[in-house]
Amino acid sequence: MDVKIISLRMERQCFINKAGEDEYMKLYRDTQPGQNVYWNGFGQPPTLSFRADFDDIEFNRDRQLKRKLIKGRFSGGNLGWIMPEDMELFIALYRKPLVKPTEIQLRVLELIEREGPLNIQQMKEATGLLVKEITPALHHLQEAFLIYEDQYDGEWDRGWYKFVEMFPEVDPDKYTRLEALKIVLQRFAYRLVWFDTAMAKSFYKLPEKEIKLAVNELVAEGILVLSDSGYMLKNDADLLENYEPKVMNFVYAIHRNDFIYKAHEHVLKEKSQKLTEGLKYDHDPLQYLLIDGEFHGASVGHFRNGPYDLNDVVCDLPDAESRKNEIVEAIRAVNYGKTPKRFMGKEL
């Protein structure tokens, strides 16, 4: 990829110059829905790792408490956190109406509408249903934006409310999905500089044919322009003509809920399979190596509660050995100081 695009992407992602609070809020908005650290972030606020010049987990914990970040089921039914002012956008993108509600779903919904807010234990006592029956019903109702799970802290005992009670001003029909896609794709383009529809599908978990339709309309409107086999904002195409790339010399170990990983997930899964082919020990990709703005490998091993098994580091840089210390330190930084057992198959 063109070095100018990589450099501007890293600037827009705040990897080169870390974001203060104002810039961070803009970055967060453009990369929604936010998620916490993959596997070991249960109950934690979302984070944009390595991008802020402050502790963004604590910052987002405070935003949760003040309900400036709200929880929902968005891309692919996954939990995520958005800013409430964008709720109408994300309803348009992800709402799954209850076309054929089950008896359990209707019982739970009627109970919450009549007596809510309620936690799951209270629902169990009121209905006689099992938790394993109630929970999936709640998830379906949540995806239909009929109820809302009010998780404003890290506690497990959370209340479930009628959605309209929590968000009386929200118009669920404000946007069509096409209109919403055209808005979020401009944000996506700004933060990645160059993208293709496979990247947008990978991140937003929406049908590629719908993404292509939105992209084609943005091209017709002169907002996006074709660039190789992808797209960029017309403004960025003009900006890049005289843009001077910044010096990049960094290694970050990126977790699997990170925005920039999610946008490249379809490519990185395939890449990691090739790099780990034939390894005799556990080699699940744990974190992916972002080196000078591009992905060049992964720490691999086995996920577990507590420190992961860091069995190896795989990398496709031709001079990987010369950057071994940097790479190992980047992995240690996100694994509680633990050192990988191997580097490129050789024991450390």
Q: Which CATH number fits the domain that encloses residue 135?
A: 1.10.10.10
Residue 66 lies in a domain: no
How does pLDDT run along the chain (348 residues), one tens digit per residue?
Answer: 899 999 999 999 999 999 999 999 999 999 999 999 999 767 789 999 999 999 999 999 999 999 999 999 998 888 999 999 999 999 999 999 999 999 999 999 999 999 989 999 999 999 999 999 999 999 999 999 999 998 776 566 678 999 999 999 999 999 999 999 999 999 999 999 999 999 999 999 999 999 999 999 999 999 999 999 999 999 999 999 999 999 999 999 999 999 999 999 999 999 999 999 999 999 999 999 999 999 999 999 999 988 899 999 999 999 999 999 999 999 999 999 999 999 999 998
Domain C-terminal end among 186, 208, 241: 241
d(CA 59, CA 224): 33
Helices (H), the chain: 3-12, 21-30, 56-65, 87-94, 103-115, 120-127, 131-143, 163-166, 177-192, 197-204, 208-220, 234-241, 259-263, 265-276, 324-333
Domain span holding position 292 = 251-347
Classify residue 99 as exposed, middle or buried by CB count within 10 Å of its CB (0-12, 13-18, 19+): exposed
Residue 91 lies in a domain: no
Residues 339, 260, single domain; the answer is yes
d(CA 336, CA 300): 16
Domain C-terminal end among 166, 188, 208: 166
Residue 287 lies in a domain: yes
Cα 245 to the center of its chain, rounded Å: 27
Residue 54 lies in a domain: no
Residues 294, 257, single domain; the answer is yes
Quote the pLDDT of residue 156. Answer: 61
Domain count, the chain: 3
d(CA 59, CA 327): 28
Which residues face 287 on adjacent strands?
A: 299
Cα 301 to the center of its chain, rounded Å: 22
Q: Note the pTM of the prediction, 2 decimals.
A: 0.95
Quote the pLDDT of residue 186. Answer: 98
Quote the pLDDT of residue 155. Answer: 62
Phi and psi angles of residue 187, each rounded to the nearest 5 degrees, phi first: -65, -45
What type of residue sits at position 201?
K
Residues 216, 282, single domain; the answer is no
d(CA 203, CA 108): 31
Residue 310 lies in a domain: yes
Residue 75 lies in a domain: no
Residue 325 lies in a domain: yes
Residues 184, 232, single domain; the answer is yes
Instruction: Residue 327: name the closest of 284, 283, 295 by CA.
Output: 295
